[in-house]
Amino acid sequence: MATEKLYYEDPYIRNFHAQLVENGVDENGRHYVVLDKTAFYATGGGQPNDTGMINNVPVYDVEEVDGEIRHFIQTPIEEKECSGEIDWERRFDHMQQHAGQHILSAAFEEMYGYKTVSFHLGEETCSIDLEVQALGVEEASRVEERANAILLENRPIEVKWVTTEEASRLPLRKALSVTDNIRLVIIPEFDYNGCGGTHPSTTGQVSTINILHWEKQKKNYLRIYFVCGNRARKQLHEKHRVIQQLTGLLNAPQDKLADAAIRILDEQKDLKKEMSALKFTLLEEEANRLAEQAEEKKHYRFVEKIFTDKPMGELQQLAKNVTEKTSRGVVLFMSHKDDRLQFVCARSKDIDIRINEVVKALLPVINGKGGGSPMIAQGGGDPLLSPEAFAEKLVEAIENVLAETV
């Protein structure tokens, strides 16, 4: 049974009484109630649903299925007599945005012939997609001016139910999507539009229409972002608060904020460059020092060190640097922190050991994982033995390999 839509008799109805028709569950297991009539608007035509209360139970979603309006609630309603109240602040905001969209779309079409192909009413901003590839700043500001002039004139926004025949005699902005029960929303001498949404009774109540920015979309459409009504005021406060904060932080007036940010980003880029050059020098020096300290073993020279402050990436670089500076060198760097033992093991070009195989054989002693190439390998595991003991195991393994090959 089709639900009687009270918002079509009067879009300003906030409270109403109705009879319960049915408690139901939809295909997603969500519980809903159907009433004989309702002031709750169901999502459609770009306008989101209302929220509110029925018998003090919150309504979190509203959908229309074949003329039946379903109010989604968490718990069933048993009483036959129901009283409903919609969240008026939310609804009026939707009315302002929706009417604002009609006016903005009509202004784009009237002034430049740009047709609106879709409308989105979001939580923060609204958008329309225009059938055009580019928009000039000047064009946008002229359209915004025209749209706001329509608000200032405080024209009536009328609703008319018409037949296809009657509709065909009016200058409709877009083709109708229905053939019977045609509902037109009309701003006389300006916009004639088939629409099922809720609108204020005069354009003045939209209060303001502000184009924010625009961006290219697929299919050569252009998406225009805008806000109307109380949203514009709220967002002005929010943006001003952010700008005040930035003005203080960057010590620059509003019109110099971008320059100040660019300066800081440039400085940061230079500092990063300087820092990586310094790091490179430090690693080189450290590699020289470590190479000099290499311990003479029977068939090779061993460099070993435990670190607590270097990331693995740096240890790998350092290990490569040291092996390049040491003939017949084997390097073992370990990092012992946060209850984890990690290591890098590398060798010079002039010594024939498959480091990845030595490491692989050793990993079980620390429950570890790892791998690499014959030249350099890395791994990590539990600190089941001290770094010193781990190093001893490695030396032993390397000596065994070398004893076989030499």
**Interface ranges with Zn ion (CB under 5 A):** 195, 197
Minimum separation from the CB atom of position 18 to Zn ion (A): 25
DSSP-derived pairing of the beta strands 209-216 and 222-228: antiparallel
Q: What is the DSSP letter of 122?
A: -
Q: Cα(126)–Cα(46) distance, rounded to whole angstroms?
A: 10
**Which residue has its beta carbon closest to Zn ion?**
195
Q: In the complex with Zn ion, which residue's Cβ is closer, 184 or 195?
A: 195
**CA 24, 25, 26, 28: dihedral to nearest 10 degrees?**
170
Minimum separation from the CB atom of position 226 to Zn ion (A): 15
Minimum separation from the CB atom of position 187 to Zn ion (A): 12
Minimum separation from the CB atom of position 99 to Zn ion (A): 8
Residue 113: left (phi > 0), alpha (psi -120 to 50), or beta? left
Q: In the complex with Zn ion, which residue's Cβ is closer, 135 or 184?
A: 184
Q: Cα(167)–Cα(191) distance, rounded to whole angstroms?
A: 13
Q: In the complex with Zn ion, which residue's Cβ is closer, 98 or 328?
A: 98
Q: What is the C-alpha end-to-end distance of the chain, expressed in Å? A: 94
Could you tell me the CA-to-CA distances from 323 to 227, 241, 329, 360 in Å, in that order?
64, 57, 6, 20
Minimum separation from the CB atom of position 205 to Zn ion (A): 15
Minimum separation from the CB atom of position 195 to Zn ion (A): 3
Q: In the complex with Zn ion, which residue's Cβ is closer, 96 or 356?
A: 96
Q: In the complex with Zn ion, which residue's Cβ is closer, 197 or 368?
A: 197
Name residues whose C-beta falls within 8 Å of residue 271's C-beta, 6 or more positions apart in sequence.
none
Find, among 388, 394, 274, 381, the residue nearest to 331 by Cα. Answer: 394
Q: In the complex with Zn ion, which residue's Cβ is closer, 21 or 170?
A: 170
Q: In the complex with Zn ion, which residue's Cβ is closer, 195 or 362?
A: 195
Minimum separation from the CB atom of position 16 to Zn ion (A): 23
Q: Cα(370)–Cα(229) distance, rounded to whole angstroms?
A: 61
